[in-house]
Amino acid sequence: MTTIEVTDIDLNHRGIHLNCRAAGDPAAPVVILVHGFPEGAFVWDAMLVGLAEAGFRAVAPDLRGFGLSSAPTEVERYRMSEVAADLVALTAIVSPGRPLAALVAHDWGGAAGWALGNRAPQLLERLVIINSPHPGLFLRGLKTDPSQQAASAYMNVLAAPDAEEKFSSDDYALLWRFFTGMGATSGGADGKGWLTDAVRAQYREHWDLGLTGGLNYYRATPVRPGKDLDAITLPPEMLTVSIPTHVIWGTLDTALLPGLVDGLDEYVSDLDVHSFDDASHWIVHEYPDRVLSLLTNFLT
């Protein structure tokens, strides 16, 4: 039976350590899986086991600011350049001397994944992005698409100074809505919903460790509604990705609309997109078997 190990890894990088969950032979090719907000490394547990049984070493960190990982106090330390640097340092430790078999990344983890695919392609053989917009397309959407502007308005609520109090009150009532608003209590593979009492307890324990780090991702980003987006330009050399890239997208995502996938081939030269009309932003929870099957097919 495959077991999941929990370990704290010192990155030897600006005082950051990441609490990680891992499974599989440490000598096997390595896959790193990266979560988003308001999640933690535990969301990948089914993938860790499945990838280990498929012959990989699978490692899922709590990103800086989440769970038991380091949580710097300065907001600017949650910019994507810092988070991507954590993943570079983690790769050097868990996969020394060889590139990752893949980086698999969702939501904010995907933002760091796009950065790695552009800035350090030598560190990974494949990139897998799950419901996380390419930075060029996200900036374009926020500048020109009223629907995406409205869909992203929640970012400013999460970036507000009182967000910790607002989102922790009444047993995290507003945070649960991120899930239930996309059908977490009725959708998924069995139609019964994935947000069970056991999963709620897992999230509650995770959030009890603190929300500030996760909220600081929204405070640190210059790309959100209400910012002076016209002043932001991203040169093409910061946006292109040449390594094989697989995008998995649940089109029922009400925060990141399906149009954010349109035009990806402008930036990604080796691209496969897998869209699912019955899945939302939380496709990893809704259809873990489907996601695992796609990952193993990509990698083998």
CA angle, 190 as apex, 184 and 193 as ends, to 5°? 15
Sheet holding 245-250, edge to edge: 5-10, 17-23, 57-61, 30-34, 102-106, 127-130, 245-250, 271-276
Q: Tokens 């987006």 identify what position?
A: 229
Evaluate the CA torsion angle 28, 31, 32, 37 in order and state its sign. Answer: negative
pLDDT in tens, 175-210: 999 999 999 998 888 888 999 999 999 999 999 999
Nearest to 259 by CA among 152, 136, 137: 137
Pairing of strands 5-10, 127-130: unpaired
- State the average pLDDT over residues 56-75: 98
Q: Please give the mean pLDDT across all residues of the chain.
A: 97
Evaluate the CA torsion angle 53, 54, 57, 59 in order and state its sign. Answer: negative
d(CA 274, CA 17): 34
pLDDT tier, 159 (very low <50, low <70, confident <90, very high otherwise)? very high
Report residue 287 as tokens. Answer: 């259809």
- State the average pLDDT over residues 232-246: 95
HSE-CB of 299 using CA atoms within 13 angstroms:
29
Residue 14: pLDDT over 90: no
d(CA 194, CA 187): 7
Using a 10 angstrom Cβ sphere, with 0-12 exposed, 13-18 middle and 19 or more buried, the burial of residue 133 is buried
- pLDDT score of 1: 85
pLDDT in tens, 89-100: 999 999 999 999
Percent of the chain with pLDDT over 70: 100
- pLDDT score of 7: 96
Q: Tokens 């590139």 identify what position?
A: 99
pLDDT tier, 255 (very low <50, low <70, confident <90, very high otherwise)? very high
- State the average pLDDT over residues 160-164: 98
Locate the domains of the chain by residue range: 5-224+236-299
Residue 168: pLDDT over 90: yes
Which of 3-12, 50-59, 156-165, 227-236 bottoms out in mean pLDDT, i.e. has the lowest? 227-236
d(CA 223, CA 190): 36
d(CA 151, CA 145): 10
What does R_g of the chain's alpha carbons equal in angstroms? 18
pLDDT in tens, 111-158: 999 999 999 999 999 999 999 999 999 999 999 999 999 999 999 999
- Beta-carbon contacts of residue 95 (< 8 Å; ≥ 6 apart): 29, 30, 57
Report residue 266 as tokens. Answer: 């402008």
Nearest to 207 by CA among 86, 97, 66, 53: 66
Buried b (16+ CB within 10 A) or exposed e, 194-225: bbeeebeeebeebbeeebebbbbbbbbbebbe
- pLDDT score of 224: 95
Fold of 5-224+236-299: Rossmann fold (3.40.50)
Nearest to 47 by CA among 222, 300, 294: 294
